[in-house]
């Protein structure tokens, strides 16, 4: 997911997306452990998306504090 698209989302939407991705990461890790994961690179992409969302949430938090 692109950072530009994430920056246009509200804090509530970002939190919902973050929870969704964390659930997906849990499922991917479970599949990896049981040997059922088809695309191991998906774990990497989901982790990076989680990091992007957390970064944007932090930026929005700092903007709100400084404003």
CATH of residue 14: 1.10.287.310
User: Residues 21-53: pLDDT tens digits?
Assistant: 999 999 999 999 999 999 999 999 999 999 999
Whether this model's pTM surpasses 0.85: yes
Q: How many domains does the chain have?
A: 1
pLDDT band at 2 (very low <50, low <70, confident <90, very high): confident
Share above pLDDT 70 across residues of the chain, in percent, rounded to a whole number: 100
Q: What is the largest CA-CA distance in the chain?
A: 49
- Domain assignment of residue 21, given as a range: 3-66
Residue 32 contacts by C-beta under 8 Å, 6 or more apart in sequence? 40, 43
67/61 Cα distance (integer angstroms): 10
pLDDT band at 1 (very low <50, low <70, confident <90, very high): confident
Question: What does the pLDDT average to over 9-27?
Answer: 97
């Amino acid at each position: 997911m692109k950072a530009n698209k994430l920056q246009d989302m509200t804090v509530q939407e970002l939190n919902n997306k973050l929870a969704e991705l964390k659930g997906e990461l849990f499922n991917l890790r479970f599949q990896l452990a049981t040997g059922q994961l088809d695309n191991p690179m998906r774990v990497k992409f989901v982790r990076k998306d989680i990091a992007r969302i957390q970064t944007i949430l932090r930026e929005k938090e700092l903007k709100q504090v400084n404003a």
